[in-house]
Structure 1
């Protein structure tokens, strides 16, 4: 998966006539790291990949589309869940759909590892975001405000607001996360 993501980053960067140095300046990631990432020699944290997506003017899902096995069936069995974990990340993502290309929502279950606080890096994106807490106590930051969410709690907000999720406890946290995208047809054009 690292090679696929790296290749997509490189292709987009070159198509936009952007140098590694320019991408580095836009993302605050070193040129050495970006070079290794483009060659598939290293992995990337979700928040860093989101910064790259924003700098290249695409949705985060652009890098993940096609890395997930596409099935003809519209039903996805629990044992068929595709898992993608971006190493050095505090999140393990489970894609809940067989085919996210051309769809308006991106449904996922996300496990948030214990003590994921670290540096709080809020991000934003087009569309809406809906979260339902399945397990654990999750801290949601939206535009700098902090909210504690417990099992059964939900939040629904504009993805354009700066936000992030962390787990300050010693137990795994699990959320159902559904994102919408306003201009889903532009995936095929390389811009979401």
Structure 2
């Protein structure tokens, strides 16, 4: 996969249009379209801007992805998303072509002790607690899950999870279909 294809994949994964990428980077949509198709090259400083925008290291674009290698080492789990006090790490080498995309979630302690707002989405969800105490809300019921506990539910019902403690909570989450 060339660099332009990797940029296109990142853009599509985040639901971003060429026009939005153009507005964020200051590069024309025509240039970006040609770059994504491998017709033209890009200056390193512009690639660095795109890497920052997508929150990946610039070397991501130069790494050879070994689709045949199914192993992700503990020291090499890419952070795919950070939102407020939550860190999402990818546990699959190539989740884009798979039915599921397991993630390691780390929720840092925070001040807000209100129950999280619940919401539904497509598919089903499985979680397994590794460390800490996770608060899981499904419909109107609140559960406290401890290390070794798991939950499996249809994600089409209102649900959400949070850390309501003063310690880090770590758990594995698997969605089907793949929401990578």
What's 2:24 paired with?
A: 39
CA distance in 2, matches of 1:122, 1:114: 19
CA RMSD after TM alignment = 3.5
CA distance in 1, matches of 2:152, 2:13: 34
Contact 1:6 1:39 in 2 (8 A): no
CA distance in 1, matches of 2:139, 2:133: 20
Alignment CA distance shift 1:149-1:138 (3 Å): same
CA distance in 1, matches of 2:94, 2:16: 24
Residue deviations 1:69-110 (CA, integer Å, cap 9, x gap) = 7433121111221113324x2210110001111211110110
Question: Where do 1:112-127 residues align within 5 Å?
Answer: 112-115=107-110, 117=113, 120-127=116-123
Question: Where do 1:8-157 residues align within 5 Å?
Answer: 8-11=14-17, 39=24, 70-72=65-67, 73-87=69-83, 89-115=84-110, 117=113, 120-157=116-153
TM-score by length of 2: 0.62
CA distance in 2, matches of 1:120, 1:102: 32
Contact 2:115 2:162 in 1 (8 A): no
Larger Rg: 2
CA distance in 2, matches of 1:176, 1:130: 8
Q: Which runs of 5+ in 2 are unaligned?
A: 1-6, 26-53
CA distance in 2, matches of 1:93, 1:139: 17
Question: How many residues in Structure 1 have an aligned counterpart in Structure 2?
Answer: 135
Q: Which runs of 5+ in 1 are unaligned?
A: 15-34, 41-63
TM-score by length of 1: 0.58
